[in-house]
Structure 1
């Protein structure tokens, strides 16, 4: 899904939806969202075809959705389907190709016009109805058998598009209906990475440059701006040391056992269930190295429902990979400084992720941790705040 990041290196911009589309206004239990501001910051990203092309070029994700649909035609043949955030309309077209009787393709942006053109060019005008509008505002003439959506953002929940999918489910899914995907999991594991040293050096360089700027301004223009050093330092610290990074990690950078921090059943999960995620997990270090931080990723599954299971379960994972992985990559939360660890050491972490008060589509993560050496010694605990922007 979409991205809000800007500034120095670290975040990739652009939408993450397979159709690339926006589903709705999100929101959840927090204060009401200004739809105009939300559209300007979020949905407008999805109206550009070059963003659609980037997402549609993610073969891992495309193959997962394609296989989920065409290896489970029993869920689509003769059925009604709702595609939340259809973007270019490809999931709607695949649903029609798999035999759906009717597909409602909802898209919040002007990408809907391209979706209609694509539907017409592929001769599915009699099956697929493209509806422009937010999921929270539109109405359908009937309940649906299937809700399909590519709603996942960085570290699964960034962007809060799942709110719109939940809204669609509660309003329009039949009691016997299925969700595509049906389940999701969030993972975390300790990692090693040269980014820890790089970001620390970048922060120090920014501060050195600031002090040179202060001196030059004082000498050249007779103004002492040193009173601004503290807020400047806090600003740079947030960007370089507290903002999580997008990265495609190699599996050998994962130095400990991975742990599940959240499991989601898309059929029953509520907005309250995902607005705040808390978990305690432990990881055993697998080698002698440096603990440079933690990585977060997710996977989703297409299982159908207990009463109507998928004929072939499909998994889409964004775990560290030996190839290029997916466009989602992983979110990296760096520790500063890194800590020397040995095989057999244990890291105990309390994880909390909440939505940003300033922007409900962005996240804040707190990691409270303690390292216990295999000898039994306890090292200094750490507490770190990160921004998933």
Structure 2
């Protein structure tokens, strides 16, 4: 299929005002951008800014309110016409210029460079249907040397979880057991990630694990084509291991040097956003107890045809054969001994590394291609 078809479908989806209503009413999202911009008013004053994928123009208006002397608001969809009206309504038409087109194709007057690029480019689990490629291209084309990116970095996290809404909640449906219904429902969801709210108490891992960290100021497009992690984490409580939960956060620069970076967090322990969390369901649930090792490998690779999407493959590993982190939160004897040794002898690290058993070999139980 022609990749341009996916591109056209992507931009046409943003003609739907319900999409923009959802984003504007996502208060953690919108306030994170507003706070990040307003906290850096001294930087934005008299600066030239580009807003990539401006939508209704609210981020451009925040920049103008912060004192920017010029904002180029780039929007490929027809909602750019609405952005012009909103900008005029707020009396910033002399500061904000809406440019209709793909950021990859536009040219700024006199090939001017901008001081900052602002964009809300993130998709589900950060990368699905996101605009990261466009942001990196805009950075390379338009950002001044030592210019700023808002946000400046992003991290994807992963943790084992329970999914009671697809399991336990169906054991009693108005006094009727519906476990057969639940089983069929889960079976229909194995071939793609599920976008849903996961409560903090349903996270099973002792700690979330970073799948990847993206530096918006330096990373190249090829560096975000694929990510992979093999990990072992101890269960922090008794529960049913039913899936892997993905979420992300974004960090904005603090140019006031007060170490007060604004952080937009979409995790289960933060206020919910329209991104919710992403769950990769397991084919079968597993009972785990506190300290039990949970071993998995997750590979995320950009789709060859639709570059705004990623394919996810999950492998469940044998904890006895997978490599454990140092220190490990599980209760395998090897890990308990290493953890005790590290607590008693924090230096040198090389000695603790010598204690580690070299046993790294994937033993997949099941693969989920998404």
Contact kept in structure 1, 2:161 and 2:244, CA below 8 Å = yes
Shift of residue 304, structure 1, vs aligned partner: 5.1
Deviations 1:310-369 (A, max 9, x none): 76310000000375x101010001112111111111223222101223422222111223
Shift of residue 193, structure 1, vs aligned partner: 1.3
1:76 aligns with 2:7: no
Q: What TM-score comes out, normalization by structure 2 length? A: 0.80
Contact kept in structure 2, 1:155 and 1:330, CA below 8 Å = yes
Shift of residue 68, structure 1, vs aligned partner: 0.3
Unpaired runs of at least 5, structure 2: 171-177, 320-329, 335-358
Alignment match, 1:293? 243
1:357 aligns with 2:304: yes
Say if 1:34 and 1:244 are closer, same or farther in 2 by CA, change over 3 A: closer
Alignment match, 1:144? 114
- The secondary structure found in structure 2 opposite 1:105 is strand
- Which of the numbers 155, 158, 176 marks the counterpart of 1:185? 155
Say if 1:281 and 1:205 are closer, same or farther in 2 by CA, change over 3 A: closer
Alignment match, 2:217? 267
- The secondary structure found in structure 2 opposite 1:334 is strand
Which runs of structure 2 are paired with 1:204-223 in the superposition (5 Å)? Answer: 205=184
Superposed CA RMSD in Å reads 2.6
- Which of the numbers 48, 53, 59 marks the counterpart of 1:91? 59
Which runs of structure 2 are paired with 1:34-183 in the superposition (5 Å)? Answer: 34-35=3-4, 37-141=5-109, 142-183=112-153
Shift of residue 309, structure 1, vs aligned partner: 5.4
Alignment match, 1:14? none
Distance 1:205 1:102 in 2: 55
Alignment match, 1:254? 203
Contact kept in structure 2, 1:333 and 1:386, CA below 8 Å = no
Distance 2:91 2:141 in 1: 29
Say if 1:385 and 1:243 are closer, same or farther in 2 by CA, change over 3 A: same
Contact kept in structure 2, 1:289 and 1:340, CA below 8 Å = yes
Alignment match, 2:260? 312
Distance 2:220 2:128 in 1: 16
Distance 1:156 1:94 in 2: 23
Distance 1:355 1:273 in 2: 11
Segments of 4+ moved more than 4 angstroms = 198-206, 308-311, 375-378
- The secondary structure found in structure 1 opposite 2:253 is strand
Shift of residue 262, structure 1, vs aligned partner: 0.3
Contact kept in structure 2, 1:152 and 1:161, CA below 8 Å = yes
Contact kept in structure 1, 2:189 and 2:281, CA below 8 Å = no
How many residues are matched?
Answer: 322
Contact kept in structure 1, 2:51 and 2:119, CA below 8 Å = yes
Distance 1:181 1:375 in 2: 40
Say if 1:60 and 1:132 are closer, same or farther in 2 by CA, change over 3 A: same
Unpaired runs of at least 5, structure 1: 1-30, 207-235
